[in-house]
Structure 1
Amino acid sequence: MRPDPRETDPLSDVVAWRAGHIVAIDQTALPGEFRVLHIATVNELVDAITRLAIRGAPALGVAGALGVALAVAQSEREGWTAARLETEVERIAGARPTAVNLRREVLATAAAIERGPAAVEAAAAAVRDAVIDASLRISERGARYLSQACGTRPLTIHTHCNTGALACLGWGTALGVIRMLHEQGELGKVIVDETRPLLQGARLTCWELGQLGIEHYLACDGAGPFLISRGLSDAVVVGADRVAANGDVANKIGTYALALAARRAGVPFVVAVPESTIDDATASGEQIPIELRPADEVTRVLGVPSAPRGTRALNYAFDVTPAELVTAIVTEDRLIFPGRAAGTDAAAAAPKVSR
């Protein structure tokens, strides 16, 4: 039996509830500084979410659920009206539009408000526990799938952005699958895209892999498809912020190019997500709202200007990978082969793995 990550992994407390407030690791400070935020108001939480101090779809869902408890506690202290409380809860839900987990978990937890603060805290804690449990099950299922799809030789996995404990709690999603392969002796090394513009791959994924003692190599985003074309990767494994009902996948900008390269090279392109990231209410990727972020994230690198003053930027935070390019979606409960319906070769070649 695998150990409970809540007992063995200190990063499972990346977002947690402590004595009436939220504690969270400030992901904008890593890897240079390990800084813990103590968040006592809705304003502080919304700021932490929008500036990406808290990020990653599952972690955002947990932050949103705990945020409802935070809003209720602040309401009790400051004597808010019911209408004000509803407004503040909506501010949390809308802090980032692309990741479906945030709004979903906010609304689910807010349903307990009428039962009182203790019920809200219990509902938020249940969301957090479910996210951690799901991460371990995703890790196990994804590693088992890749072992069958690619063989049990030491594998080289290409990944993008950050999908470990920092983004997903517990073991993570895509990075959890990688971690499980490592524990089973089936991982050779990991190729990590830097992930422009905020370098979550370079700053966060490389940091987590280093903590785990996993061999890894950093690559420029633009080099990823070329490396895949040269046969340097056995599979591409990524997370997602939303999966549409048809299997289209919204993930960090740069993912689409990796999926195209994986299809051309004939290697699996696997998306690891919790069930809560699948949005059956959104028919396809065309309906997924894509966040457009400030230009200075592109025109500056870690605060240092990298473009002439006045340069404008198209800083879309996410792209959408069509379902036909996705070999498999791995969740805590099942394997989904979205491209299979389109009759694609990669999908047809994917092994059937039982639940």
Structure 2
Amino acid sequence: MADELDKISVSLQKYLDEGMEGAQAAVQIMINSVTNFTAGTIMGLEQELGNTAELIRSTTIGSSIEIRACLETFISAAGRSGFGEQPDVGLAKKCIVSAGEAVRDSIAESHQLIAKHAHNLIQDGSRILTTSCSSAVEAILASSVATRKDIKVYVALGYPTRKSYEMVRNLQKLGVRSTVLPDSAVGSLVEQIDVVLVGAEAVMENGAVVNATGTFLLALAAKAAGKPLYVAVERYKFIRLYPLNQNDLRVLAPESSELEPIEDIEQELKQNIDFFNPQLDLTPPEYIQMLLTDEGLLPPSAVSDTLIQKIYRNYVRC
């Protein structure tokens, strides 16, 4: 078991180093597992799917709520492919691989589709507030730049993670003007911006969004100032979970628990105080104007129906 887990961890990291996103890497490992399956029964193949998914979820990378949502999408797509109705294992494997490749390709195309659907929401001259680093948000901003829209982006640091600096670097490559601000300054800035645009780690069944810590703070400020909050998110991140509050999130998504103490505090002081330093927070649906997805623009109230469609969607039917 330990050897298998190590192999999965190494494979995940290899795909990430090659430029794949975590979700694509997880799907590719599932495809590889099916391709390499040599036992003789369809029931054994089904067990292999479950075992591989569990191994991925047991790795550091694969334990995230995003990867869990992605694996749920893969398992649903495999189940709807009709592999269990095939007369032999070889044909069943082909069904699952075809469905998995369709899921993987849809993930690869998702950012371009999100940018296309969201294009008209970002106007020329828009001042945009964001936090953390989201490929979907970057795609929207890149599309705006490509069509010569003059935009200004404000990036809240989203402490304790360092992902916002990655966003700033990527914006510089796009030639987008950006201003960095501490999370504590969001309330002072929010009246000056036109829209809050963030990504998501996952979307819950009730339309709530899980994202980097600080997102809920932006949502509160946007609501108070009457500014719209848009969430750019891929449909594979919709997951059948229903946390009611921040404490529920820390139970359902262990990776949301606390990071190490803040680096720039003296060591002696660290030993004498407690820290509350979560990585993720939960933004309730009533704070969200619209979800910008690869299937179009959705209000948070439509998430439950979209999840049903996700479960019963035929990516590939043999």
The answer to whether TM tops 0.5 is yes
Distance verdict in 2 for CA 1:181–1:41, change over 3 Å: same
Q: Is the 8 A contact 1:189 1:215 kept in 2?
A: yes
Over the residues paired in the alignment, what is the CA RMSD in angstroms? 3.6
Per the alignment, residue 238 of structure 2 pairs with 278
Q: Is the 8 A contact 2:35 2:97 kept in 1?
A: no
Tell me, yes or no, if structure 1 residue 244 matches structure 2 residue 204: yes
Scaled by the length of structure 1, the TM-score of the pair is: 0.64
Pairing partner for 2:23 from 46, 55, 61? 61
Structure ranking higher on relative contact order (CA contacts 8 Å, 6+ apart): 2
The residue type equivalent to 1:44 in the other structure is: V
Structure 2 counterparts to residues 188-337 of structure 1, below 5 A: 188-202=151-165, 204-228=166-190, 231-279=191-239, 281-283=240-242, 285-286=244-245, 288=249, 289-292=252-255, 295=258, 297-300=260-263, 308-309=270-271, 312-337=274-299
Structure 2 counterparts to residues 87-98 of structure 1, below 5 A: 87-94=51-58, 95-98=62-65
Structure 2 counterparts to residues 7-156 of structure 1, below 5 A: 41-45=7-11, 59-71=21-33, 86-94=50-58, 95-99=62-66, 100-108=68-76, 115=90, 122-144=98-120, 146-147=121-122, 152-156=123-127
Distance verdict in 2 for CA 1:285–1:242, change over 3 Å: farther
Identity rate of aligned residues, in percent? Answer: 21
Q: Is the 8 A contact 2:12 2:22 kept in 1?
A: no
Q: Is the 8 A contact 1:236 1:258 kept in 2?
A: yes
- Partner Cα separation in structure 2 for residue 260 and residue 175 of structure 1: 23
- Partner Cα separation in structure 2 for residue 266 and residue 244 of structure 1: 24
Distance verdict in 2 for CA 1:275–1:157, change over 3 Å: same
Superposition deviation, residue 108 in structure 1 = 4.5
Mean CA deviation greater in 316-325 or 256-265:
316-325
The residue type equivalent to 2:222 in the other structure is: A
Structure 1 stretches lacking a partner, 5+ long = 1-39, 165-172, 341-355
Q: Is the 8 A contact 2:204 2:241 kept in 1?
A: yes
Q: Could you say which structure has the larger radius of gyration?
A: 2
- Partner Cα separation in structure 1 for residue 242 and residue 9 of structure 2: 33
Superposition deviation, residue 140 in structure 1 = 1.6
Structure number with the higher helix fraction is 2
Mean CA deviation greater in 241-250 or 102-111:
102-111
The residue type equivalent to 1:217 in the other structure is: T
Per the alignment, residue 350 of structure 1 pairs with none
Superposition deviation, residue 310 in structure 1 = 6.8
Superposition deviation, residue 153 in structure 1 = 3.3
Per the alignment, residue 163 of structure 1 pairs with 134
Superposition deviation, residue 265 in structure 1 = 1.2
Superposition deviation, residue 196 in structure 1 = 2.0
Superposition deviation, residue 178 in structure 1 = 1.7
The residue type equivalent to 1:107 in the other structure is: I
Q: Is the 8 A contact 1:250 1:320 kept in 2?
A: yes
- Partner Cα separation in structure 2 for residue 299 and residue 128 of structure 1: 37
Superposition deviation, residue 98 in structure 1 = 2.5
Superposition deviation, residue 240 in structure 1 = 1.2
Structure number with the higher strand fraction is 1
